[in-house]
Amino acid sequence: MKRRHNKEDRRVLMARMEQDNVPRTTLSFYRYVHLENPALTRNQLYAAWEELGVLGRTYVAREGINAQISVPTDRFEEFKAHLDSLDWLSNLRLNVAVEQGKSFFKLIVRVKDKIVADGLNDDTFDVTDCGEHLKADQFNALTDQEDTVLIDMRNAYESEVGHFEGAICPDVNTFREEITLVEDMLQDKKDANIVMYCTGGIRCEKASAYLKHKGFPNVHQLEGGIIEYTRQAKASGLRNKFVGKNFVFDERLAERISDDVIAKCHTCGTSCDDHVNCANPTCNILMIQCSSCGEALKHTCSEPCKAFIELPEEEQKAKRKGTKARGGFMSGHKGLSPDEAPTPRSRQ
């Protein structure tokens, strides 16, 4: 089968997305399953999804699939029927986004070594022996207990704008860093009830299995992550214990869960939880910036970056030669995680 991918210029695709008024449904899903030929699977999915008008980013690996996509709303049932027609994807839980919007501008399906970059040797433990899954009401009940340890398994730039009440939010840049840090952090709490959560569940699937392998007997994880919790809490009239925004890895950047603004502008310290990328393409750092600082700095992160984009275009091009986007703490977020991008990186 011919390898297929979209070669159109990013700017053209972005403009097309902005002009497109077709209603779309943004969702994510994952499944750990053994795939004999990820490349063949990738090509088959791309061909089917391209025909269905799917946009978004997906990883396929020998260990399974991890996807964050958008589907034309009037073809959503057709898309679900397509998934159910594949034995390895039937009866899949789809995490439909809390807030809809223009999320993706092209279709990417890639073969990877892993569907989440975790740095673990999967041969040393059973990745399917994960923690007990908790529905929203069970999560609330267990996290209301004083001796429960609640861990946010996302990166710092995610938890900075929103997290569950009482959660421990490790100051890490990648999921790979967090797993070992959490293991060390919990050494004196091995018999406690440990509850983990992430955006859509995939990081906790692996991390909870790893902790059980390491001798933690009472590991739990939030089923479907923040996205599914929010849906269940609303449907059941439960108190929603998530405060702020849920960071997402697409053009929306975040879903508003509560009205609380818990973060601050990285430039001036004003209460703000809006993520943006520095307008200097050689920087592209992901930051929280208020509208006032954005206007004053021309949507860059600093005076040097502002000065750079004020240079004539030819001079900017000359200075950019041989450089790559700076990979700082919050360097452009929008590579996938689909659900969960394990590593922040520059826009594609």
Q: What is the pLDDT of residues 31-56, one digit of tens each?
A: 989 899 999 999 999 999 999 999 99
Classify the C-alpha dihedral 232-236-239-244 as positive or negative.
Answer: positive
Looking at residue 11, its pLDDT comes to 63
Strand 194-197 relative to strand 219-222: parallel, antiparallel, unpaired? parallel
First to last CA, the chain: 25
Looking at residue 333, its pLDDT comes to 40
Catalytic residue flag (residue 198): yes
Looking at residue 340, its pLDDT comes to 42
Over the chain, what is the mean pLDDT?
A: 87
Distance CA 267, CA 32 (A): 41
On the question of a common fold for 10-111 and 122-243, the answer reads: no
Strand 162-164 relative to strand 242-247: parallel, antiparallel, unpaired? antiparallel
Distance CA 285, CA 276 (A): 8
- Give the list of residues 6+ apart from residue 125 with CB closer than 8 angstroms, or none: 209, 210, 212, 213
Looking at residue 345, its pLDDT comes to 34
pLDDT at 305 exceeding the cut of 80: yes
Distance CA 212, CA 46 (A): 36
pLDDT at 102 exceeding the cut of 70: yes
Q: Which residues pair with 56 in a beta bridge?
A: 69, 107
Instruction: Establish how many alpha carbons lie within 13 A of residue 165's alpha carbon, considering only the half-sphere containing its beta carbon.
Output: 14
Q: CATH for 10-111, among 3.40.640.10, 3.30.530.50, 3.30.70.100, 3.30.565.10?
A: 3.30.70.100
User: Amino acid letter at 49?
Assistant: W
Class of the CATH domain delimited by 122-243: alpha beta
CB-count burial class (<10 Å; 0-12, 13-18, 19+) for 51: exposed
pLDDT at 114 exceeding the cut of 50: yes
Classify the C-alpha dihedral 128-93-84-98 as positive or negative.
Answer: negative
Distance CA 207, CA 177 (A): 12
Residue 193's CB is within 10 A of a number of other CB atoms, namely 17
User: Amino acid letter at 36?
Assistant: E
| Candidates 198, 204, 290, 301; catalytic one | 198
- 220 three-class SS: strand
3-state secondary structure 96-159: ECCCCCCCCCCEEEEECCCCCCCCCCHHHCCCCCCCEEECHHHHHHHHCCCCCEEEECCCHHHH
Q: pLDDT tens digits, residue range 58-83?
A: 999 998 999 999 999 999 999 999 99
- 215-243 in b/e burial notation, b at 16+ Cβ within 10 A? ebebbbbbbbbbbbbbbbbeeeeeebbbb
Distance CA 289, CA 265 (A): 5
Q: pLDDT tens digits, residue range 280-289?
A: 989 999 999 9
User: Amino acid letter at 19?
Assistant: Q
Q: Where are the domains of the chain?
A: 10-111, 122-243
User: Amino acid letter at 170?
Assistant: P
Query: What DSSP line would sit under 37-84, residue for residue?
Result: -HHHHHHHHHHHHHHHT-EEEEEEETTEEEEEEEEEGGGHHHHHHHHH
Looking at residue 335, its pLDDT comes to 37
